[in-house]
């Protein structure tokens, strides 16, 4: 089913960061369905960090995690009730840094044929099932180096929701791969 997308997003998986001074985190980008949907979450506006933001399931590494892939899988299960095996993770994107909280995040990519109903925890206000190709077509990536500095400022929109920051930089990486393979 998800053949072409799975193939073009397959990379080596290196589930750790060499930088020991960074705060480490990981997210899981889950792509499923014949129409290539992704799962994103909207954080509650009451959260101290990233309040109301649209993001991928994930979080900071715990002392009990063997590596950052385990972090991404654990956080995905905790936040939205989706259990994904390491075998379903096909690759990872380049690490992304958050501007405000100072984390270096490894985005891992899993491709599934289908998913079961999801159950959000208290860290998730809403689970979004977003068709990725229409989403990527909303990417605002006007090259404006004067305003971009170290943090590339991209944004995407889904319905009335704005996706920006680290999540948008991850989606920009996917958009670049999709453009290269003429999927968008």
pLDDT (0 to 100) of residue 26: 95
Q: How far is residue 128's CA from residue 56's CA, in Å, rounded to a whole number?
A: 10
- DSSP lists the bridge partners of residue 91 as 109
Q: Is the pTM of this model over 0.95?
A: no
8 A C-beta contact, residue 132 and residue 124: no
Over the stretch 113-142, which tens digit does the pLDDT of each residue have? Answer: 989 999 999 889 999 999 999 999 998 765
- Domain map (residue ranges) of the chain: 3-131
8 A C-beta contact, residue 128 and residue 107: no
8 A C-beta contact, residue 131 and residue 40: no
Record: fold of 3-131: Nucleoside Triphosphate Pyrophosphohydrolase (3.90.79)
Averaged pLDDT for residues 45-55: 71
Q: Quick check: 143 pLDDT over 70?
A: no
Q: How far is residue 111's CA from residue 97's CA, in Å, rounded to a whole number?
A: 24
pLDDT (0 to 100) of residue 131: 95
pLDDT (0 to 100) of residue 1: 47
């Amino acid at each position: 089913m998800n053949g072409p997308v799975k193939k073009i997003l397959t990379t080596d998986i290196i589930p750790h960061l060499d930088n020991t001074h960074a705060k480490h985190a990981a997210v899981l980008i889950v792509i499923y369905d014949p129409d290539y949907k992704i799962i994103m979450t909207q954080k509650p506006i009451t959260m101290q960090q990233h309040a109301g933001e649209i993001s991928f399931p994930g979080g900071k590494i715990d002392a009990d995690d063997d590596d950052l892939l385990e972090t991404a899988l654990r956080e995905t299960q905790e936040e939205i009730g989706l259990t994904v095996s390491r075998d379903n993770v096909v690759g990872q994107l380049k690490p992304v840094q958050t501007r405000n909280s100072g984390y270096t995040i490894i985005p891992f990519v899993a491709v599934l044929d289908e998913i079961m109903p999801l159950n959000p925890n208290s860290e998730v206000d809403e689970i979004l099932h977003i068709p990725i190709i229409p989403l990527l077509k909303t990417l605002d990536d006007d090259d404006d180096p004067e305003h971009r500095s170290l943090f590339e400022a991209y944004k995407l929109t889904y319905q009335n929701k704005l996706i920006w920051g680290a999540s948008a930089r991850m989606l920009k990486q996917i958009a670049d791969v999709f453009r290269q393979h003429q999927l968008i």
